[in-house]
Amino acid sequence: MFYTKIEATHLDFFIKTLGKKNVLSGKNVLDYSSDHTEDLIYPPEVVLFPESTELVSQIVSYCNSNLIPITPSASLTGLSGGALPYYKGVSLSMKKMNNILKIDESNFQAFVEPGLINEDFQNKLSEKGLFYPPDPASKGSCTLGGNIALNAGGPKALKYGVTSNYIINLEVVLPNGSVIWTGANTLKNSTGYNLTQLMVGSEGTLGIITKAVIRLISKPKYTLLMLIPFHELSDSCDVVSKIFLEGISPSSIEFMEKSALEIVQKTQFAHIPFELSENEKSYLLIELDGDEENKLLKHAEKLYSIFENFNCGEILIAETSAQKDNLWKMRRNIGLAVKSYSAYKEEDTVVPRNKLPDLIKGVKIIGKAYNFNSICYGHAGDGNLHINILKENLSDIDWNIVVKKGIREIFNLCVKLGGTISGEHGIGLVQKEYIDIPFSKEMISLQKEIKVLFDPNNIMNPGKIFPD
């Protein structure tokens, strides 16, 4: 694939358009060459920091005319390599477009820019008694634009849904530089094709999101958080369906292998506020929320009666806000702990939740067959399992060739169980070679045609989702 190499004339245009302070080149770009994905490094030729839609439009139009590839980025917390400039060119950082433009309390809507940090947004809404549920593990650093690009979820997706459930309208700069709004600022819209939802999860391959209109809900008044240890791995998964059959709808049900918490403890990424027992193999972190405290307590009592039929240990209930924070910090830091412990490959699998026991069992069998260890954790309530495959003492040949065969078997198992190969991390670079597993040739061809229609010069985040 041919692209134009960035030269002095191009840099001059970028500096003239954005100002020198918003253009990085030379060795300064190395900080923008990697994200949280494995050990991938793809440095851009230049990093640009636009501060308005108009400037984004000018940059994109120029790059399209000159066949310069553009990779949108911001905080670089992704786990699929989606924000890495595979073909060099421009890394278009949206981190300076980070404003809350308006909170419309009467319509329960917010107007935001894509560089806004997820947790900053949530905190501002909380002051007003409002709530935006999508809460990825990296919510303290990830941006709303990145969340939209990947259709991010998080623990609360179980009860409240993923990012796509809250995006009403988007301002997008198309690859030719033109600016469109994809929909209307209404809760209902059956007017033509749903371009808003097409953009959500498109990983920056169709255009650059510059503004978003987000649906909000009321913030729940109460939360109850409990940690349940299990002596058998299968029990912690089997119990999930029983919870829903009893009419209980937790806001989160998080699964953690004991080995995941051991690594958190070893790496000191978070304090483990309880003693890890030899008899316990896995844990569920369950959160209930709502506006009636008595109702939450009754549901907690029901949960206790359910757990009595399973082989579980002593149940821990967080009694203070600090205890809740410690437990959530423990869960949210598993990924970072694993990353610091060993080179790894993280696979973001998802199956119907009643098939989760089959998936975990299959992962362990496949691991033995291909001689790799895995650490599993994730969102048990919606069947979303994060499988961290550790390099440890594997040779480079085993790591780069043999393990990939095992990953393909895992993905085939996911599809066989009625699931797919990514629940919330996207496809990006690392999963694209497996895209033939969930999709037929016809489906892949159709999606590629959509890409060509939007981006005939293929400048927008090229090399992602589909094999070249």
Q: Give tens-digit pLDDT for 11-31.
A: 999 999 999 999 999 999 999
What pLDDT is recorded for position 113? 98
Please state the domain extents for the chain.
8-96, 100-218, 222-335, 342-434
In whole angstroms, how large is the CA radius of gyration of the chain?
Answer: 22
CA–CA gap between residue 232 and residue 400 (Å, rounded) = 32
Phi and psi of 410, rounded to 5°?
A: -60, -45
Number of H helices, E strands in the chain: 15, 18
| Cα distance between the two ends of the chain | 9
Which pLDDT does position 468 carry in this prediction? 83
**Mean pLDDT value of segment 332-353:** 93
pTM for the full predicted model: 0.95
**Structure token digits, residue 285:** 């972190």
Q: What is the mean pLDDT of residues 214-223?
A: 97
CB 197 within 8 A of CB 270: no
- The answer, yes or no, to whether residue 39 has pLDDT greater than 90, is no
DSSP 383-451: TEEEEEEE-TT--HHIIIIIHHHHHHHHHHHHHHTT-BS-SSS--TTTSGGGTTTTS-HHHHHHHHHHH
pLDDT above 90 (res 342)? no
pLDDT tens digit string along 424-462? 999 999 999 999 999 999 999 999 999 999 999 999 999
**pLDDT(372) > 90:** yes
> In whole angstroms, what is the distance from residue 41 CA to residue 284 CA?
35
Confidence of residue 256 (pLDDT cuts 50, 70, 90): very high
pLDDT class of 234 with cuts at 50, 70, 90: confident
Mean pLDDT (whole number) for 199-212: 98
Give the burial class of 34: count Cβ atoms within 10 A of its Cβ; 0-12 exposed, 13-18 middle, 19 or more buried: middle
Architecture of the domain defined by 222-335: 2-Layer Sandwich (3.30)
Percentage of the chain beyond pLDDT 70 is: 100
Burial class of 193 by CB neighbour count within 10 A (0 to 12, 13 to 18, 19+): exposed
Task: With a cut of 90, say whether residue 406 has pLDDT above it.
Answer: yes
User: What one-character-per-residue DSSP string does 343-368 give?
Assistant: -EEEEEEE--GGGHHHHHHHHHHHHH
Residue 38 pLDDT level (bands cut at 50, 70, 90): confident
Tell me the CB-side half-sphere exposure of residue 141, using CA atoms within 13 A.
12
Neighbours of 270 (CB within 10 A): 20
pLDDT on residue 181: 98
- From residue 421, alpha-carbon distances to 123, 235, 372, 388, 437 in Å are 32, 24, 19, 14, 8
Average pLDDT over the chain reads 95
Domain 8-96 falls under CATH 3.50.50.60: no
From 173, 46, 195, select the one nearest 97 (Cα to Cα).
173
Between CA 338 and CA 454 the distance in angstroms is 38
* Class (C level, CATH) for 100-218: alpha beta
Q: Which residue type sits at 248?
A: I
Query: Quick one: average pLDDT of 206-232?
Result: 97
HSE, side-chain direction, 13 A CA sphere, residue 97: 28
Q: What pLDDT is attached to residue 455? A: 98
Whose CA is closest to 13, among 85, 51, 53, 61? 61
What is the DSSP secondary-structure string of 40-78? -----SEEE---SHHHHHHHHHHHHHHT--EEEESS---
**pLDDT tens, 263-311?**
999 998 888 888 898 889 999 999 999 999 999 999 999 999 999 888 8
pLDDT(410) > 80: yes
> Does CATH number 3.30.70.2740 belong to domain 342-434?
yes
What Cα–Cα distance (Å) separates residue 39 from each residue in 137, 189, 433? 20, 43, 17
Tell the residue number behind the tokens 């094999």, with chain if given. Answer: 467
Residue range 141-196, pLDDT digits in tens: 999 999 999 999 999 999 999 999 999 999 999 999 999 999 999 999 999 999 99
Reported in sequence order, the residue ranges of 123-243 that DSSP labels E, i.e. its strands, are 130-131, 167-173, 179-181, 208-215, 217-218, 222-230
- Beta strand 252-257 with 384-390: parallel, antiparallel or unpaired? unpaired
Same CATH fold assignment for domains 8-96 and 100-218: no
Please give the Cα distance from 220 to 222 (Å, whole number). Answer: 6
* Mean pLDDT for the stretch of residues 392-402: 93
Tell me what the mean pLDDT of segment 329-351 comes to: 93
% of the chain with per-residue pLDDT over 90:
92
**Dihedral (Cα; 252, 257, 261, 267), 10-degree rounding:** -120
Predicted confidence (pLDDT) at residue 1 exceeds the cutoff of 80: no
* pLDDT score for 34: 94
**CB-CB contact of 204 with 72 (8 Å):** yes
Rounded CA-CA distance 254/30 in Å is 35
